[in-house]
């Protein structure tokens, strides 16, 4: 891959569409949520991807629905009939100018599949196509899945996600040697926390600078609005935000101060 994924930045990504949970009466990971975010002028959307028993890809954050039924155990028709959004329906409706971050959710059942038959392998086909018409990122907490994406969709950018309060030093070093283009830590790793109190943390601008020096871009996810400004001041390339309308309004207001 050549060039910067996020361009001159910084850019905003809508987490699960318009935001996590229900935002302005619209539920996360629904077609309405993604289209509402696009209508507000969001740069990118983050899309949770899961696989059903018949190899359909649906948009869902948790491995099971509200009734405790696992998507890996039901068909795509059953999943969409219960309210899950079909990934292809979303991609057909989402305006081409909106970038997409596929957050690929590895299932336990992927452990018994060949690499070419995993959830990531199914998504790689879709990602290669989308990358021809919009900015595209494949992200995951699963380093093994990202390696599969490297094999099967080598021209598509890859991003390593790290969980809440994951040690940021390890995350920065790991991303640098995993052949990914983006490090995407949760904002909880970027402030003093139970695992890494203040005396064990580098300054935020130092962390961002090391990521950039290693040749990676920096995507922070789910910060508060106040912390989002600190991240922007430190030079991050992108923010994945939980409430798109509030984030856009607040960051615009801060830009005019």
In a domain, 9, yes or no: no
Work out the average pLDDT over 173-190: 97
Q: How far apart are CA 216 and CA 106, in angstroms?
A: 23
pLDDT: which is higher, 127 or 2: 127
Q: How far apart are CA 33 and CA 38, in angstroms?
A: 9
In a domain, 6, yes or no: no
In a domain, 3, yes or no: no
In a domain, 212, yes or no: yes
Give the pTM: 0.95
| Number of structural domains found in the chain | 1
> What integer pLDDT is reported at residue 3 of this predicted model?
73
> What integer pLDDT is reported at residue 247 of this predicted model?
93
The helix (H) or strand (E) run that includes residue 170 is: helix 168-176
In a domain, 232, yes or no: yes
In a domain, 4, yes or no: no
Among candidates 219, 148, 162, 150, which has minimal Cα distance to 193? 162
The helix (H) or strand (E) run that includes residue 22 is: strand 22-23
Task: Give me the percent of the chain exceeding a pLDDT of 70.
Answer: 97
Q: How far apart are CA 41 and CA 65, in angstroms?
A: 30
In a domain, 49, yes or no: yes
Least confident of 3-7, 92-96, 115-119: 3-7
The answer on pLDDT for 17 being more than 60 is: yes
Q: What is the pLDDT of residues 200-237, one digit of tens each?
A: 999 999 999 999 999 999 999 999 988 999 999 999 99
The answer on pLDDT for 248 being more than 50 is: yes
> What integer pLDDT is reported at residue 253 of this predicted model?
66
Exposed (0-12), middle (13-18) or buried (19+): which is 48, by Cβ within 10 Å? buried
Q: What is the pLDDT of residues 73-83, one digit of tens each?
A: 999 999 999 99
> What integer pLDDT is reported at residue 254 of this predicted model?
60
Q: What is the pLDDT of residues 103-112, one digit of tens each?
A: 999 999 999 9
Q: How far apart are CA 48 and CA 96, in angstroms?
A: 19
**What backbone phi and psi angles, to 5 degrees, belong to 172?**
-65, -45
How many other β-carbons are positioned within 10 Å of the β-carbon of residue 208? 22
Q: Which two tokens stand for residue 126?
A: 């879709």
Work out the average pLDDT over 186-198: 95
Q: How far apart are CA 224 and CA 57, in angstroms?
A: 31
> What integer pLDDT is reported at residue 73 of this predicted model?
97
Work out the average pLDDT over 153-180: 97
Query: Is residue 159 helix, strand or coil?
Result: strand
The answer on pLDDT for 9 being more than 90 is: no
Q: Tell me the residue range of the domain where 45 lies.
A: 14-256
**What backbone phi and psi angles, to 5 degrees, belong to 137?**
-135, 140
In a domain, 98, yes or no: yes
Q: How far apart are CA 214 and CA 180, in angstroms?
A: 11
Work out the average pLDDT over 129-138: 97
């Amino acid at each position: 891959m050549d060039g910067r994924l996020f361009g001159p930045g910084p850019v905003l990504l809508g987490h699960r569409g318009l935001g996590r949970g229900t935002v302005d009466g619209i539920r996360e990971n629904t077609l309405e949520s993604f289209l509402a975010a696009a209508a507000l002028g969001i740069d990118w959307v983050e899309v949770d991807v899961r696989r059903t028993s018949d190899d359909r890809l649906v948009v869902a954050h948790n491995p099971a629905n509200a009734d405790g039924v696992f998507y890996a155990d039901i068909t795509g028709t059953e999943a969409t009939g219960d309210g899950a959004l079909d990934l292809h329906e979303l991609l057909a409706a989402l305006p081409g100018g909106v970038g997409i971050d596929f957050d690929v959710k590895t299932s336990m059942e992927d452990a018994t599949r060949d690499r070419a038959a995993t959830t990531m392998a199914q998504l790689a086909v879709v990602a290669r196509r989308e990358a021809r018409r919009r900015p595209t990122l494949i992200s995951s907490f699963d380093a093994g899945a990202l390696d599969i994406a490297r094999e099967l969709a080598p021209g598509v950018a890859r991003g390593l996600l790290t969980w809440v309060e994951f040690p940021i030093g390890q995350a920065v070093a790991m991303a640098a040697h995993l052949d990914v283009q983006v490090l995407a830590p949760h904002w909880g790793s970027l402030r003093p926390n139970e695992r890494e109190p203040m005396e064990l943390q580098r300054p935020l601008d130092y962390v961002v600078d090391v990521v950039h020096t290693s040749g990676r871009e920096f995507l922070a996810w789910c910060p508060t609005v106040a912390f989002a400004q600190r991240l922007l001041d430190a030079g991050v390339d992108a923010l994945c935000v939980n409430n798109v309308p509030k984030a856009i309004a607040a960051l615009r207001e801060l830009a005019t101060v």
